[in-house]
């Protein structure tokens, strides 16, 4: 009788939804995932979960698909559900930590990485993730030992050298950062992150042409990474190629599914430079909607408004930017708000 009851429960858990089981939907979701059809994959994983609300693999897969769609809040919820169902799942803690990083919760991410390491101390990738979290909160000295552990365990992997390059760049150690970036590309010549990292170093050295070349190579390898376009846009702007910068910011916004406030802000500044003030205002509106506590976006919108109308129409935004702590707002207020 007990075996029969277990069989019946199993049938209920994997009951058909429109004639298909939770496992069927999960398998189809994985197929969509494998060809980067992420929205379709999320829909299929959701159907799998509706057939089995304790299907941890489906939650993890859906969470990671959401993560790649920049739906970090949704990803966080899925990984949290996995942890509730399987408190000893180190991978779920690590993925939740990565989601928190993307949501700018760097300090809150570190306990998740600590737990992942506690549960799976031999998984050196978690040390690298914790190192990245420490970079996020600017604890660079603590980040280096974590990344060194990852490099020592796998010196043949380019990723560790890229991560250490990023930290050393943040610490102002440009020569050492360049050495690590070059090492990563020596190990893996077609590594997009390696070119992006080296591009950031060239940008810091004000070798803008070399930086743009590296970002372009990164994009050629991984054309779906919005941050590569955003970085190239920033450098093109510094190099006074504003039209090129505008194109790259627009592509970065498209690839990030319109969810990165900083990219809208930067495109808004570029629109001001190109004297397209209406589009600049629209971009700052988007930035404010995504990040309402960013003072610079209010300053930018105020500046675009006064440039558009030649009146004090933007002074309220400029004053709000100043009140929120943007030092640039003061000069604009003196110039345009009599």
Q: Which of 136, 219, 193, 294 shows the shortest CA–CA distance to 269?
A: 294
Side-chain-facing half-sphere of 304: CA atoms under 13 Å: 26
What pTM did the predictor assign? 0.74
Of 42-46, 194-198, 256-260, 326-330, where does mean pLDDT reach its minimum? 256-260
Beta bridge partners of 59: none
Give the 3-state DSSP-derived string for 90-119, with helices as H, strands as E and coil as C: HHHHHHHHHHHHHCCCHHHHHHHHHHHHHH
Q: How confident is the model at residue 113 (pLDDT cuts 50, 70, 90)?
A: very high
Question: pLDDT by residue (tens digit) across 60-81?
Answer: 999 999 999 989 999 999 999 9
Of 128-142, 243-257, 258-272, where does mean pLDDT reach its minimum? 128-142
Side-chain-facing half-sphere of 172: CA atoms under 13 Å: 0
Angle at 29 between CA 23 and CA 35, to 5 degrees: 145
Question: pLDDT by residue (tens digit) across 281-299?
Answer: 999 999 999 999 999 999 9
Rounded-to-integer distance, Cα 131 and Cα 110, Å: 9
Backbone angles phi, psi at 53, to 5 degrees: -70, -5
At residue 13, the pLDDT reads: 43
CATH class of residue range 13-86: mainly alpha
Contact 147, 129 (CB under 8 A): no
* pLDDT > 80? residue 8: no
Side-chain-facing half-sphere of 331: CA atoms under 13 Å: 4
Mean of the pLDDT values across residues 245-266? 95
Task: Give residue limits of the domains in the chain.
Answer: 13-86
Report helix, strand or coil for 20.
Answer: strand
Average pLDDT score over the chain: 92
At residue 311, the pLDDT reads: 67
Q: Which of 238, 311, 306, 231 shows the shortest CA–CA distance to 272?
A: 306
């Amino acid at each position: 009788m007990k075996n029969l009851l277990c069989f019946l429960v199993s049938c209920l858990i994997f009951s058909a939804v429109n004639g298909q089981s939770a496992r069927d939907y999960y398998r189809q979701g994985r197929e969509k995932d494998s060809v980067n059809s992420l929205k379709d994959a999320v829909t299929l994983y959701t159907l799998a979960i509706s057939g089995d609300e304790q299907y941890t693999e489906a939650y993890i897969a859906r969470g990671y698909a959401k993560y790649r769609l920049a739906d970090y809040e949704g990803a966080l919820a899925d990984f949290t559900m996995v942890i509730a169902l399987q408190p000893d799942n180190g991978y779920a803690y690590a993925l939740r930590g990565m989601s928190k990083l993307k949501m700018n919760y760097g300090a809150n991410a570190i306990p998740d990485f600590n737990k992942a390491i506690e549960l799976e101390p031999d998984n050196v990738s978690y040390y690298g993730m914790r190192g990245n979290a420490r970079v996020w909160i600017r604890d660079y000295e603590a980040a280096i030992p974590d990344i060194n552990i990852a490099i020592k365990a796998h010196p043949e992997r380019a990723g560790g050298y890229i991560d250490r390059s990023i930290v050393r760049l943040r610490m102002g150690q440009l020569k050492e950062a360049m050495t690590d970036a070059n090492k990563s590309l020596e190990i893996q010549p077609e590594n997009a992150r390696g070119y992006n990292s080296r591009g950031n170093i060239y940008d810091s050295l004000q070798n803008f042409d070399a930086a743009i070349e590296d970002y372009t190579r990164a994009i050629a390898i991984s054309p779906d990474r919005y941050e590569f376009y955003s970085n190239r846009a920033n450098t093109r702007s510094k190099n006074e190629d504003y039209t090129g910068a505008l194109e790259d910011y627009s592509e970065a916004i498209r690839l990030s599914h319109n969810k990165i406030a900083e990219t809208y802000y930067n495109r808004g500044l570029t629109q001001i430079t190109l004297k397209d003030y209406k589009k600049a205002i629209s971009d700052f509106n988007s930035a404010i909607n995504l990040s309402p506590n960013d003072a610079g976006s209010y300053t930018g919108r105020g500046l675009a408004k006064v440039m558009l109308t030649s009146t004090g129409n933007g002074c309220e935004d400029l004053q709000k930017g100043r009140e929120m702590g943007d030092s640039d707002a003061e000069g604009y207020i003196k110039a345009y708000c009599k």
